[in-house]
Each structure stands twice: as C-alpha cells, then as structure tokens.
Amino acid sequence: MEAVEASQCLPARVQAGFRRKPLIAALDRLAAGTSPIGLVLGSGFECDPRMLAHLGEHFRLIGNPPDVVRRAKDPTAFFGALTKLGIRHPETQLVPPAAGDGWLMKRIGGSGGLHIHACPPAPRLDPRRYFQRRVDGEPLSVLAVIGRTGPVFAFTRQWCAPLPRRPYRYGGATGPITPEPDLEARLIDISRATAESLGLIGLVSLDFLIDDGEPILIEVNPRPGASLDVLDDAEGNLFRSHVEASRGGDAAGLLLARWQPPKARAAAYLYADRGPIEIAPGLDWPHWTADRPQPGSRILKHQPLATVLADSASPDEAERLCRHRLGLLENLLYESANGKGTPT
C-alpha cells in the first residue's frame, strides 16, 4: 500500500466477482479530480466479458479488450484455435463425460485454481463450466510481453496450496527458470502462435504442463498475472512495458533496454487456513511481505492474507525460503491476533 494514493475496499466476492454498479462507482470516486491514463485489470474479471465492456465505456482499458478476453477464455474458441494450430492440449468439452473418473470440471473464466474440481461420478451439464480430461506433467508458466515490435518471453514454475475440495488452489511461483533449449524454443513457438491467433497484447501468461519433455497448453491468462511479482524489477519495467504495449508502443524495446529481472525470486500467497483472523493493530510486518491488510481487517477462513516474497541464488532456493517464510508469517499473524505475539 506504500505506493497507493487512494483505495476503495468492496465486499469480498471471490467466487462471484464484482457487481458492476458498486465497482464503477468506486472507480469513479478514486478517479475524481484526477486524469487517470487507464484501468489495468488483474484476475477475477475474465469470467464476465460484459463487465469488461461496461468498464471500457467509463475508462480506457490498458490491456486486452473484452472481445480478446472472451476468445481467450471461451473453451470452444480457445481450444478450437489450438486444434487448428496443432498445439497439444487436454481433451476438453462443454458436455459432461459419461463418467467423471479421470476428468476435471472447471468454471469458464475462473482463476486462481479455486474453480477446478475433480468431476463427480455422474457430472451434470452446467453452462458455467467445462470439462477437461486430467493430464500429468510438471507445471510451467510462460510470461509474454506482446507489443508492436514482437513479444518477449520469460518462464516461471508454479505450485499449489491445496485444500481437500480445492486441490489446485494457487500457491506460489518461482523463477526466472531456464528450460532446456529445445523445450524453450517449442514453448516460445507455441506461445507466439497462440498469442497471434488470439490477438493478445501486453502482459499475458500461458500455463503449461510438461509431460516427458512435451508441452501441453492448459490455459491463457490475457492479463498481468502472479508471475509479475516474481519477474518484475525494482523500477516496475515489466508493468511499464504492459502500459506501453497497450498504447501501441515499442514494449519489447523498452523492456530489453531497461528490465533488470531478479536473479531468483519466489512469491506466494498466505491464506487464512487456520480460521478467520483479525489483523492486530501495530503489527510489525516483515519487510518480505506485500499486499498487507489494514489493521482491524477481518479475513475469512481460506481467504488470501498477504503475499510473501523471497530472493535467493536460485529458483529452488528462493522457493524453499518462501515456503519457510509462509510458516513464519502465519505464526506471527495468528499469535498476534490471539494476543500472544509481539507487535510493536
């Protein structure tokens, strides 16, 4: 919050998303008396392209327009495009399979992994969901910055923070990683072809599973994603390149000239998995935390609490340190909330 001049907090609707009128009213209040250059949207908007269109009527959208987001998140359009391009992807369909064993059920436009469930034995048709055959592999995410002069690519590895009924909940990511040269070239070719087919611009991410050296494309996120926390530098040049690309400028040139990515960094979400928690006043937050809730905020069970960061000599070491810090921060927050900590 150190860089924020003003903020508005709206009621939590993690699964359902924002309501249009309260959101636009809050944005209007934030923009009053200023001249904002535009609106950058993170996760949670892809499930409602109509909301994006309404927002675009009030503010200049920095990033992909609603029609591009719709194509990227519509299962028929997206996986149909991959089939035409010859890009390997899981078997995907809108109608439920005859039996749920070996299949996943996903919400259209969902994010953060919370919307992914194992199929029940006899799945039912649901217009909000699609069905995807489960595939094995190691997760790898490609971050692309796509502008007028072409894309720039970087790579991260993600992990989950599973719950019994939410086994694919997003946990964290580490990077930058360097895939084996042949795999790296194939990932770049697939990402470039997918981005061109969908008409993507700016910061986007493509999520893969790597099965015995073979990349399987799972989904595209047509907006800045969690890997921004891992790969951006102290000057925010990845984010700057996103704005530049959306304006039609030379994002790649800007990025290559200025970007100083970390040697190795991990970023992860801490969730309130021990139960609801109220943030203690005067809490001395560690310097390696971000997205800190305000004192007195009540965070419901399993909701995100804060982001934990770790820099180290390698992505593996950064991930280990980040996981360790998750435990330290969880203990600090819950002990402080119970009056057992030492807030200053």
Instruction: Compute the distance between CA of residue 213 and CA of residue 201 in angstroms, rounded to an integer.
Output: 28
- Give the tokens for residue 114: 């919370």
Question: Structure pTM?
Answer: 0.91
Tens-digit pLDDT profile for residues 84-140: 999 999 999 999 999 889 999 999 888 888 889 899 898 899 999 999 999 999 999
DSSP 119: P
Return the pLDDT at 342: 45
Asked whether the predicted pLDDT for residue 23 surpasses 80, the reply is yes
38 in Cβ contact with 180 (< 8 Å): no
Q: How large is the average pLDDT for residues 267-285?
A: 95
d(C-alpha 248, C-alpha 237), whole Å: 16
Instruction: Measure Cα distances from 145 to 36, 64, 328 in Å.
Output: 22, 12, 34
| Pairing assessment for the beta strands 103-107 and 304-311 based on DSSP bridges | unpaired
**Could you tell me where the DSSP H helices lie in 10-65?**
20-31, 49-58
Residue with tokens 């390149």: 241
Query: To the nearest whole percent, how much of the chain has pLDDT over 70?
Result: 96
Q: What pLDDT score does 114 carry? A: 82
For residue 176, whether the previous peptide bond is cis, meaning omega lies within 30 degrees of 0, is: yes
Average pLDDT over all residues of the chain: 91
Lowest mean pLDDT among 17-31, 259-273, 298-312: 17-31
* pLDDT of 208 higher than 80: yes
Q: Are 200 and 222 in contact (CB under 8 A)?
A: yes
Q: Which of residues 48 and 341 earns the better pLDDT score?
A: 48
303 vs 14, 224, 286, CA distance in Å? 8, 21, 20
Amino acid making up residue 132: Q
3-class state of residue 102 by DSSP: coil
- Architecture field, domain 69-258: 2-Layer Sandwich (3.30)
